[in-house]
Chain A
């Protein structure tokens, strides 16, 4: 691979690029879906390709190809420079990169068992043992299971001398039961929606989920939801489970603190941010109970790595400290805009074919104290919502509305009757300002969302979030129509 890396860099330099980096990415993925006892799909894929990113005339250019044959590497590198020169005609301010130490290193995700080496029938059995159990629950219409494996090896080199060989392994899966009523469908999933729970690591992640032992309650809750009353519309105390806290954190803290959004670079598609550069160190984003980090070094997260896709070493930085905004997620191009001398390492690309963007690594809500039961105990009247079902937020990341799979009424510190179709809405800083408790380390877990979309062409990124159950006061629930 080193030969191809040097070919690309040499060709870009010969075409007068002032900077170039190249990533060769080798990917293996497997996706398994079952429905009851039947395998609905079993797909594997292998891919290889490379992308060359250059600066020429003060502007970025990027070109990529899946072919490492013949002179394709040099052709693509020269094309990247051609693209950059076309960009330069409409670039007002030349791109400047902050410094990063030159890294020559390798890294592999720690794992106990390679999931690709597990026999297929064992993997099928792990899912169908749970889905067949779910189908035994009266009223269950369908029981699905999913498992996704991804191994991605990236060779990175730059004209500054960086040379990095990094292999990331991500594993995850889950189960879902669906019950069908009169014009109504209700689903429950474990350990989360959108195909389950995902982390970096090996097959041990799936074994530790113990899907079969959660099958029965998952199925029973799906059926029970059909008979449950609608979640009431009122202003009340809201307790979120760790899964929904993950999506809340993702949409209303993770995205608005991406510096490219703050600078308007994502304006046309995903929107910008209500956060301004002047807000760093000043904006009260949340209550004092809230501390949030961007941490690519945290074990097990989907954003856990040693180096980002522009060769910056993984870091843990504060975004919100004691409720105050203190940092943003940056890149080598943008860090200088907030006076930073170094990127905090959040540039990531989907595959070889995409230009790296600022993407969340692991944006974590740090644990507080106590258990979920402790959070509930301090609620006379409220609602507990679990497992994200839908999400929507405006183009500045302020007005949001979330839906969950299930909720329970909280009365005098205890969960009572079940509600279906729970939803809540709010404004970001008001909502986080109403947070008065985050559960402690024992209830905290590293979770992941594997389907975060951003950029044009659209890129899907896998993002980690460490969360625990969290409590908010005075929230509007049960959005009425």
Chain B
């Protein structure tokens, strides 16, 4: 029996090692791998200018993968104690014995294959240790930035730890902290948006986040509809981030490329985007929040997906790397069904301010962010979604009248191929769902963006 982990703290590397030691030697198994995750999160939500939900939670999970020859199965527990881990191991062992052999399985990672991952340790003690009162104070700052308006959003602080250990000697551990804030300001139906995220709460300016939302709301009243059609757009970073998240989801992984479900599959090596577009997955980038290894224990490499407009290639795990005749880039997602995943997408910034991007547009649309985006066609990377919380017409380089929200139906490659300018500021965004990963993007301008319908607000 290992000692209980104290309330609120994340298990250390040593504590994880001690807990999983027995299951790594599970009788009857040819190999055992444990993927461990733990988090301690406080999240305060507000709406109608008051706190409506306030939560504090601590959770962990250990997934035990067992191999019997090349038959594999896994079982998870949320208790970091030997008896629970051994029970999970026994369940996985029994299941592995029942499944057909997996001839394509590359085996458990050997220490030589890992690339000796170094932890990134993007961890800030103050952020990790924030109290409910600390969060309430930040929320108070955000509410004060928009007096007289209806203000909604959240402020979150937390810490996260991950480890991969195996019977073959893989042994890695990393942790990060994260704070994130969003603010929606509603002035009689005219809304504005601000958001920010960092591993360090001292650099996240929540007042600026809220003031941005308030400024947008003030200039969004009396919006009018726009005739659907193709327009030059200036997309602010939150809008770009959402599109690139879905682009990554729909095809930055090698399994999707192999299955020809990814747009990358048919365009490798082509110069398909504007020269100003470089997109990579890079967990070690200064703007990213991530860990130094993947869920097979392989060091995360920087993988350039699009380099100055040229399509380079997807991220891989060991299974897909073998199929492609390469080595893993360190992007195993933990799901053999989904395959490798780009968790830390970074688009390189350019040299334009948002005002300069706007000034470059004679007739177009400025978009703050998108809502409820979804994939219509994976190989085309064709997406649909709505604008919200700040959409304006651009006339002669100036932000003009506010617009009611618009539905777009447009492919991301077409957007990237028509980029005419890239913003200088890189904005880090937390994932909308879940706590793992980040997206760091600038604003951009692009021609011929397709709006297909409008709505009345």
- Which residues from chain A sit less than 8 Å from chain B, CB to CB? 33, 37-49, 51, 59-67, 69-70, 72, 75-76, 79-80, 82-87, 89-93, 119-121, 124, 141-142, 178, 180, 183-185, 263-269, 271, 353-355, 389-396, 398-399, 401, 403, 421, 423, 425, 427, 453, 456-458, 479-481
Contact = CB atoms under 8 A, between A and B. Distances in A.
A85 B373 CA distance: 37
Contact of B385 (A42, A142, A392): A392
Contacts of B335: 41
B99 A124 contact: yes
B379 A183 contact: yes
A325 B109 CA distance: 58
Nearest to A398: B455
15 contacts: A41-B336, A46-B76, A46-B84, A67-B79, A83-B56, A86-B54, A86-B135, A91-B51, A183-B379, A264-B48, A355-B53, A396-B457, A401-B452, A403-B376, A481-B450
A86 B133 contact: yes
B99 A48 contact: no
A185 B457 CA distance: 36
A419 to B, nearest CB: 14
Contact of A63 (B55, B450, B452): B55
B409 A66 contact: no
B362 interface: no
Nearest to B335: A41
Contacts, number: 275
A42 B455 contact: no
A265 B49 CA distance: 10
Given A267-B47, A390-B376, A38 B4 contact: no
Contacts of B432: 269, 458
Interface in B103-156: 103-104, 131-133, 135-136, 139-140, 143, 150, 152-154, 156
Contact of B100 (A37, A396, A399): A37
B355 interface: no
A85 B182 CA distance: 22
B55 A64 contact: yes
Which of A47, A64, A456 lies at the interface centre, i.e. has the most chain B CB atoms within 10 A of its CB?
A: A456
Interface string B41-62: 1111111111111111111110
A64 B58 contact: yes
A51 B58 CA distance: 10
A89 B140 contact: yes
Contact of A39 (B100, B183, B261): B100
Nearest to A121: B98
B99 A42 contact: yes
B56 A79 contact: yes
Contacts of A83: 42, 54-56, 132
A28 to B, nearest CB: 10
B384 A401 contact: yes
B450 to A, nearest CB: 5
A268 B154 contact: yes
B48 A265 contact: yes
Given A83-B132, A86-B131, 5 more contacts: A124-B100, A268-B183, A394-B407, A399-B455, A480-B452
A46 B43 contact: no
Given A69-B4, A89-B136, A44 B371 contact: no
A476 to B, nearest CB: 8
B378 interface: yes
A51 B435 CA distance: 19
A210 B450 CA distance: 43
Interface of B: 4-5, 7, 41-61, 63, 72-79, 84, 87-88, 91-92, 94-96, 98-100, 102-104, 131-133, 135-136, 139-140, 143, 150, 152-154, 156, 182-184, 186, 259-261, 266, 335-337, 371-380, 382, 384-386, 388, 405, 407, 409-410, 432-435, 450, 452-457
Given A41-B337, A43-B76, A399-B454, A65 B261 contact: no
Contacts of A453: 433
A44 B386 contact: no
Contacts of B132: 61, 82-83, 85-87
Contacts of A86: 44, 54, 131-133, 135-136
Contacts of A355: 53, 55
Contacts of A51: 57
Nearest to B104: A38
A263 B53 CA distance: 14
Contacts of B50: 90-93
B58 A66 contact: yes
Given A268-B47, A392-B385, A481-B409, A87 B379 contact: no
A44 B95 contact: yes
A38 B100 contact: yes
B56 A62 contact: yes
State the 6 A-B residue pairs at the shortest beta-carbon distance, nearest first: A86-B132, A45-B76, A458-B433, A399-B455, A120-B98, A267-B152
Contacts of A48: 78-79
A60 B53 contact: yes
A183 B432 CA distance: 30
B183 to A, nearest CB: 7
B227 to A, nearest CB: 15
Nearest to A397: B372
Nearest to A37: B100
A56 B442 CA distance: 43
Contact of B47 (A49, A119, A266, A401): A266
Contacts of B56: 62-64, 79-80, 83
Given A66-B79, A268-B154, A481-B452, A90 B372 contact: no
A268 B371 contact: no
B374 A392 contact: yes
A394 B405 contact: yes
Contacts of A59: 51, 54
A265 B55 contact: no
Contacts of A180: 259-260
Contacts of B407: 392, 394, 399, 401, 425
A66 B55 contact: no
A390 B384 CA distance: 9
A46 B455 contact: no
B92 A395 contact: no
A266 B388 CA distance: 14
Contacts of B74: 41-44
A394 B388 contact: yes
Contacts of B266: 183
B4 A457 contact: no
Given A141-B259, A267-B152, A390-B384, A90 B376 contact: no
B44 to A, nearest CB: 7
A369 B47 CA distance: 43
A427 B454 CA distance: 10
Contacts of B53: 60, 62, 355, 456
B219 to A, nearest CB: 19
A399 B410 contact: no
Which of A84, A263, A481 lies at the interface centre, i.e. has the most chain B CB atoms within 10 A of its CB?
A: A481
Contact of B58 (A41, A65, A120): A65
Nearest to B46: A90
B57 A353 contact: yes
Which of B132, B152, B153 lies at the interface centre, i.e. has the most chain A CB atoms within 10 A of its CB?
A: B132
Contact of B48 (A61, A263, A401): A263
